[in-house]
Amino acid sequence: MLPGESEFPFLEENQNRRIYTLPRPFLSCATPHKKTYFSTPAIKASLITAGLSLSKAVFVGDVAVGKTSLVRRFCHQIFVSNYKATIGVDFEVERFQIMHTPFLLQMWDTAGQERFKCIAQSYYRGATAIVLVFSLCDPKSLDNTHSWLVDALKANDSSPVIFLVGTKRDKISATSYINIENEAIEMANSMNAEYWSVSSKTGDCVEHFFNRLAAISYECAAQKLFGHRDHLEYGNPLSLIDEIESNEIKKKKSCKSC
């Protein structure tokens, strides 16, 4: 390695990855994280924690909803319309500076095909954040986020933060967008998830989403470091699973009676 050359080239300084204030959510009505500032544990961690802190975010959802496009647009500033379906799991990592602390966000892009589910589930463990991705052009992919969340929570023994992200905003009409966004907001609230709408093709809201994801993940790591239970804790994930499955049963019964 040459003098001055980084041992980890993906950790080179990026001005866009510096976060000093808690980024705002996409919609204030579609997030369980109501605070507009970093918590005391997060501030304390930025002052005393040495070295790189690290969190893991797992991206799950149906095949072809745009998980890979979303991650690669953020990490590499590129968009390719014909990605091949992910086989197993892809991995990216980005470095942020949150207040005074270097912070690594691992992004695990999992396969959406049924035959790879068993492989992907082994990567759910230890996730600080679960990112449920659906296509705004495909209402069924939104409905399927329920089962993806249940699978992810069953394999995770912690209480991860949850994001519900609609992709392909550029491909949907204004009228259709309003309809599916209302459904997505309702679903996000039922999951204790934060809702976002993005376009990987145009880059719309992608940078903002990942900054918010990194900041909330950092908050969660700081809370655990100091043993705090604040606005990021929602109790036993298995209780949330029961609630989600119960809501699904009620929804199916309601549809049958229509």
Q: What is the DSSP string of 64-100?
A: TSSHHHHHHHHHHS---TTPPPP-SEEEEEEEEEETT
SS3 at position 179: helix
Structure confidence at residue 53 as a pLDDT band (50, 70, 90): confident
Q: Does residue 4 register a pLDDT over 50?
A: no
How far, rounded to the nearest angstrom, does the alpha carbon of residue 131 sit from its chain's CA centroid? 3
Structure confidence at residue 10 as a pLDDT band (50, 70, 90): very low
**pTM for this one?**
0.83
DSSP designation for 192: T
Q: Which domains does the chain have, with CATH numbers?
A: 14-256 (3.40.50.300)
Q: Does residue 110 register a pLDDT over 80?
A: yes
Buried b (16+ CB within 10 A) or exposed e, 190-229: ebbbbbbbbbbbeeebbbebbbbbbbbbbbbbbbbeeebe
Structure confidence at residue 237 as a pLDDT band (50, 70, 90): very low
Alpha helix (H) residue ranges in the chain: 40-48, 67-76, 117-121, 139-143, 145-154, 174-191, 206-225, 237-256
Task: Report d(CA 206, CA 75) in Å as an integer.
Answer: 10
pLDDT of residue 13: 53
pLDDT of residue 172: 96
Residue 130 bridge partners (DSSP): 58, 162
Average of per-residue pLDDT values in the chain: 82
- The terminus-to-terminus CA distance of the chain in angstroms comes to 68
How far, rounded to the nearest angstrom, does the alpha carbon of residue 183 sit from its chain's CA centroid? 18
Q: Which residue did the predictor score with more confidence, 50 or 101?
A: 101
pLDDT of residue 33: 94
